[in-house]
Amino acid sequence: MLPTIAAAALALSLAGRNPGDGRDLIRAMHDRYAGAWYRTLSFTQHNTATDTAGRETHSTWKEYATFPGNLRIDFLPADSGGGVIFRSDTEYVFAADTLQRAVPLVHSLLVLGFDVYVQPVDTTLAKLVRLGVDLSKLREDTWQGRPVYVVGAAAGDTQTVQFWVDKERLVFVRMLQPVGRPTARRVADSRFEDYRPVGGGGAWLSARVVFLVGGRPVWKEEYVDIRTGEPLNAALFDPRQFRSARPAGGS
């Protein structure tokens, strides 16, 4: 009941006014779901990759997450030993149960789609600054028929790092990030779609994530067997235990 009351109070406090900048918006996103957002998540992910000729290939992954900051992906079949762990702003990549590389990485979609609701506001703001978002810039727009806030870029600018947030629900829906060399720069367009309520506390989950590069669809994720709020072993997210912590029946 308290999270619902808090959300209602926040809605009333925001009535008739908008956040002044990206910092205000992140604070509003956090406060809207404080105490109501799920801390654990697992699902099966069906992937569609599309090459430059339009040919599609399909794969399936199993994913586990605890928020803030931890995500594990097992490429199925799980006994192939392939996967990724994101932890402490680092990406650990595995093949045949062997660590191939570990590189620093702020996972932008993890930060904006999930962590923002459960970690301190200042932590989220610091990560967004590292990602190159200009938090002083905020405007309103429309996305897929719904009003949104856009942080980081002026109207018509699709070449600057920016994120889009549904104005009513205060959930992340889109991010644009330039990728590639300066002489061959393209824009990666990440979209959270098919939002549905989960967990019974007023929280949401995007069950479809679509990625475009240079305006061309390259990757789609569709989530099934979605579970929130269930205990997950911390060892799942320990790179030293990638193989031993793999859940039985994960394939």
Confidence (pLDDT) at 2: 44
Confidence (pLDDT) at 183: 66
Distance CA 242, CA 247 (A): 10
Phi-psi region at 152: left, alpha or beta (left = phi > 0; alpha = psi -120 to 50): left
Distance CA 132, CA 212 (A): 20
pLDDT under 70 in the chain at which residues?
1-16, 183, 249-251
**Which amino acid is located at 157 in the chain?**
D
Confidence (pLDDT) at 248: 82
Is the torsion defined by CA of 249, 245, 97, 55 positive or negative?
A: positive
Which class does domain 2-241 fall in? mainly beta
106 burial class (0-12, 13-18, 19+ CB within 10 angstroms)? Answer: middle
CA angle 68, 74, 79 (to 5 degrees): 150
Confidence (pLDDT) at 251: 52
Paired residues of 66 in beta bridges: 40, 70
236: number of Cβ within 10 Å: 21
Q: Maximum CA pair distance of the chain?
A: 56
pTM, two decimal places: 0.91
Which of 219, 220, 246 is closest to 232 using CA atoms?
Answer: 246
Confidence (pLDDT) at 43: 98
Distance CA 151, CA 148 (A): 10
Residues 55-107 pLDDT 10s: 999 999 999 999 999 999 999 998 899 999 999 999 999 999 999 999 999 99
Which of 16, 37, 2 is closest to 170 using CA atoms?
Answer: 37
Question: What helix, strand, coil percent values describe the chain, rounded to 5?
Answer: 20, 45, 35
DSSP label at 128?
Answer: H
Distance CA 29, CA 135 (A): 14
Distance CA 244, CA 197 (A): 33
Omega within 30 of 0 (cis) for the link into 120: no
Relative to beta strand 162-166, strand 146-151 is antiparallel
